[in-house]
Amino acid sequence: MRRIHASRSQGGRRAGEEVSMGFLFFLFALVSAALTYNVYRPRKAGPRLAFASFFAGWLWGELVPHALAIELLGSIGFSLAGALESGLGRLALVVVAVSSAALARHYLQALDTGALVEKALRQGLGDDYRDRIPAPLATRLEEGVRWGPILRICPLSRPEVERTTDIRFDRVRGINLKLDVYRHRSHP
């Protein structure tokens, strides 16, 4: 079993005590599972905890492909480091697998949302609602999932978006307050 040798006292451990890779993998799995559980059941008690829970759930739930990649790469890394030699490491692998399955389920449910929205629009606006959308606007409607923005966490500029920067809107205590405006180049 591979172990990390702690050379100095940290976190209550005596110098010389070893920490197994299986234990570290299990901690990774618990954090991953807690984040996934939070996607389904966010905490609501107290404003600070509710905010932290919302923020963590929002990121983990919106960036599912990235979260799955983190879980997969983490599992591979810990496995190569010998974490599966211990029972705790094998348990961690099961926990990560369940967490990944729950995340994938969440993502697949979200993909079904488009059909539900379309059904609601047809019920509320009529089956011909798309025919009544003006042609210039209809050409900008997108069908399906746009994978590019999902896979790029920090999106680059889009050619159809115009950015006007540093527009002064007020001055308070000698400080110019400015904003940036993003809008479609066609200025609808």
Question: Mapped to the 3 state alphabet, what secondary structure does 1-21 carry?
Answer: CCEEECCCCCCCCCCCCEEEH
What is the residue-level pLDDT of the chain in tens, covering all 188 positions? 555 554 444 455 444 345 699 999 999 999 999 999 999 988 888 888 888 999 899 899 989 999 999 999 999 999 999 999 999 999 999 999 999 999 999 999 888 888 888 899 899 999 998 888 888 887 777 776 777 766 766 666 778 888 889 999 888 889 998 998 888 888 76
Q: How many Å apart are CA 57 and CA 8, to the nearest integer?
A: 36
What lies within 8 Å, CB to CB, of 5 at 6+ separation is 16, 18
Q: For residues 104 and 68, is the Cβ–Cβ distance under 8 A? A: yes
Q: What is the pLDDT of residue 99?
A: 97
pTM of the model: 0.61
Q: Which two tokens stand for residue 160?
A: 């159809």
Q: What is the pLDDT of residue 183?
A: 86
Q: For residues 53 and 40, is the Cβ–Cβ distance under 8 A? A: no
DSSP 8-state secondary structure symbol assigned to residue 155: P
Q: How many Å apart are CA 130 and CA 113, to the nearest integer?
A: 18
Q: What is the pLDDT of residue 169?
A: 87
Strands 161-172 and 175-184, bridge-based pairing = antiparallel
